[in-house]
Structure 1
Amino acid sequence: MLIKDVHDFPGHIACDADSRSELVVLLEDDEGVFGVLDLDSPLPGRFDKADQAGIETLAAIYVAASSFED
């Protein structure tokens, strides 16, 4: 989720009172969601589609590296 201004997002729960924009990417494998990568900024509109694509790529690398057999 790419949220340009958290004050315009209904139901937003801020973990930081200074947060204005947010980028949230799920960490998900074959068994489901096992984590969330959540970036906050005090600047509205701080994150864009390029940031989202880059963080989604990093998340995919992390998920692939975390998936291993016992």
Structure 2
Amino acid sequence: MHCMLQMISFLFLFSSPLSTISILLMIALIPNIQQLSINLNLLNMIFHVFLFLFCQDYVQKFKSNK
């Protein structure tokens, strides 16, 4: 369930204007495979921050449209 939620939120993230930044961060965070697990934890953290910002942005747009 949590994995599915992350997949869905991932799709939302990539449909947002932050997608370019997040893709660049992913590329920047995984330069070598030895540190992959650390990078994945960091990436997960950054991903949730982005998701939070995106949700706030979405809510603001929704409120201003009403």
Q: Which has the higher strand share?
A: 1
Q: Which has the higher helix share?
A: 2
Return the structure number with greater relative CO, CA threshold 8 A, min gap 6.
Answer: 2
Q: Structure 2-normalised TM-score?
A: 0.43
